[in-house]
């Protein structure tokens, strides 16, 4: 477990991490909020604007009062001080507290910033994955949003203890392949890139968006699709993305092996990840 | 909004509600926990054993370390002191904190107890309901469990502001009628009682269980079924249950009207609610 280094809530530094959050916080009672997990590298938050854009979309989707990205940027600077690398986690909740699902009309949202230690990877980290038996529910209302209702991911990660397995692949209840437990999934076949369209579940990752953009810039055929497990098995390259770990080439799933392919390398290179 | 009167976390009284919860609490980060909302009446928690049984089942389902019902009972007594009526809310989370979905193996779960003011109803409270457009996702893994992932219910209650409408009825994504936003649903037709079976979503309410038990004791035909909206419209009596509000007869839905029926009255009477 990583050690929380510093934190602030609504701009106020947190002195005592063990007693910091309002007991009526709706994030606790209902998972009524959103989060961003951001990579701090060379003193800067990678793709900060994309994180803020996704947060704004999430607030819009869940009717949570918008946060000010500039204020968050300043607070992150104060939070990280001389720290040049790590993870900055942001939680934004509906605010207003109180028992009852409805909440208070017009409430100002709360923001919590946390700094965790982390050393960014600068070389490809080959990934062995497994199938998760935990399935994702389908709900277009929440699909794509990085909200705080994450029991499915918690239960999925608890399926295995084998440290040699770095990720689990998750299907939805209609047998579509959606994502890894903490990342998006890409498959490549003959130079064409495909990633699940996330119309029913999953999170629209910021690294996923960066990969899609750069792949298009590089002239690759890119498709967001309803992905089936067989397409993964038939693919010539597979990789998992997230904002912190970047691009991780999937090299093994049960008996299936993949090389770290040319397309994967080219994308990682174009994004200055390896 | 109701005012939080008193609280304890893991048995320790909370002095400052505004800064009480660990910032790394998994209930906040992932909704990784369970809750119970209990009615305090005449100095006692109604159906306390049922709440503890459901909590134990929830812990088992989510692989959260079990809590000690006796310790909780004692803490509630300390919490409520001379208070004879109100609502006692219990949140139990996985514990162990930390960034990352997986959590810490073998962590002790956390418990948070909160006392809110509430005056129990002692007469039937006729309920006007509406259809919610927010749908429930299907996931057998979480169905029935009173977990902290409640964004669907939050969004459903935010659909209306009209104070004359007391509840919203929720369908799942396959058009089955599952529940009210904060209660279970029963329909009666010719003396036979039916409630959704909750195999894909919804919460197994303690009042739902009490109603099922007493209806069977009274000799009524009782069925847990896949309920369709038309069955509701065709029913002769409809009511909504929850642990705090008891049995609320549904008397209006759009143009449809129902009386407070004999079966509903008999159940409420047998449970000493009205």
Chain segment B38-57, per-residue pLDDT in tens: 999 999 999 999 999 999 99
The verdict on a CB contact (< 8 Å) between A28 and B23 is no
> pLDDT tens, A24-83?
999 999 999 999 999 999 999 999 999 999 999 999 999 999 999 999 999 999 999 989
How many Cα atoms sit within 13 Å of A5 on the Cβ side? Answer: 18
Residues of A in contact with B21 (CB under 8 A): 19-23, 25, 28
Contact yes or no for B29 and A148 at CB 8 A: yes
Q: Is the pTM of this model over 0.95?
A: yes
Q: Report CA Rg, chain A.
A: 19
Question: Per residue in B141-175, pLDDT tens?
Answer: 999 999 999 999 999 999 999 999 999 999 999 99
Q: Please write the tens of the pLDDT for every residue from A76-117.
A: 999 999 899 999 999 999 998 777 999 888 899 999 999 999
Mean of pLDDT over chain B? 96
Q: Which helix (H) or strand (E) holds A252?
A: strand A246-253
pLDDT of residue A120: 85
Burial A133-154, CB ≥16 within 10 A → b, else e: ebbbbbbebbbbbbbbbbbbbb
Residues A168, A246, A79, A146: is their CA dihedral positive or negative?
Answer: negative
Q: Which residues of B touch A149 (CB under 8 A)?
A: 30-31, 149-151
- Do residues A112 and A13 make contact, with C-beta atoms less than 8 angstroms apart? no
Q: Would you tell me the crossing angle of helices B48-62 and B69-80 to the nearest 10 degrees?
A: 130
Which residues of chain B lie closer than 8 angstroms to A165, CB-CB?
Answer: none
pLDDT digits (tens, 9 = 90+) for A20-30: 999 999 999 99
High-pLDDT (> 70) share of chain B, % = 99
For A264, the enclosing helix (H) or strand (E) is helix A262-270
Q: Measure CA B113 to chain center.
A: 16
B1 pLDDT higher than 70: no
Across the interface, which of B21, B99, B101 has its CB nearest the CB of A20? B21
Residue range B190-199: average pLDDT? 96
Average pLDDT, chain A: 96
Query: What band does A2 get if pLDDT is binned at 50, 70 and 90?
Result: low
**Predicted confidence band of residue A121 (pLDDT cuts 50, 70, 90):** confident
From the list A37, A102, A154, the residue facing B32 with the nearest CB is A154
Q: Cβ distance A205 to A183 under 8 Å? A: yes
Residue B191: predicted pLDDT: 87
Task: Grade residue A140 by pLDDT with cuts at 50, 70 and 90.
Answer: very high
| Shortest Cα distance, chain A CAs vs residue B165, angstroms | 13
Q: Indicate the DSSP class of residue A209.
A: H
Helices A262-270 and A206-217, axial angle in degrees (round to 10): 100
- Whether the per-residue pLDDT at A125 is higher than 90: the answer is no
Q: Which of residues 217-246 of B touch A (CB under 8 A)?
A: none
Q: What is the pLDDT of residue A132?
A: 98
Residue B2 scores a pLDDT above 80: no
The b-or-e profile of B69-104 (16+ CB within 10 A means b, else e) is: eeebeebbeebbeeeeebbbbbbbbbbbbbbbbbbe
């Amino acid at each position: 477990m990583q050690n929380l280094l510093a934190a602030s809530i609504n701009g106020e530094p947190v002195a005592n991490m063990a007693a910091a959050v309002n007991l009526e916080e709706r994030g606790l009672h209902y998972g009524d909020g959103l989060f961003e997990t951001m990579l701090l590298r060379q003193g800067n938050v990678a793709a900060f604007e994309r994180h803020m854009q996704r947060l704004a979309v999430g607030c819009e989707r869940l009717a949570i009062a918008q946060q000010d990205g500039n204020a968050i940027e300043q607070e992150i600077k104060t939070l990280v001080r001389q720290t040049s690398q790590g993870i900055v986690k942001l939680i934004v909740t509906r605010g207003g507290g109180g028992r009852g699902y409805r909440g208070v009309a017009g409430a100002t949202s709360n923001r919590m910033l946390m700094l965790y230690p982390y050393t960014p990877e600068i070389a490809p980290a080959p990934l062995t994955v497994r199938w998760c038996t935990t399935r994702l529910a389908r709900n277009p209302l929440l699909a794509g949003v990085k909200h705080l209702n994450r029991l499915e991911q918690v239960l999925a990660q608890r399926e295995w203890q084998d440290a040699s397995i770095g990720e689990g692949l998750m299907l939805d209840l209609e047998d579509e392949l959606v994502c890894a437990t903490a990342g998006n999934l890409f498959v490549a076949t003959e130079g064409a890139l495909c990633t699940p369209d996330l119309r029913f579940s999953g999170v629209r990752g910021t690294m996923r968006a960066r990969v899609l953009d750069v792949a298009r810039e590089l002239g690759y055929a890119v498709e967001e699709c309803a992905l089936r497990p067989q397409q993964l098995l038939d693919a010539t390259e597979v990789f998992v993305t997230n904002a912190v770990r970047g691009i991780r080439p999937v090299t093994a799933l049960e008996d299936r092996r993949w090389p770290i392919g040319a397309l994967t390398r080219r994308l990682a290179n174009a994004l200055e990840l390896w």
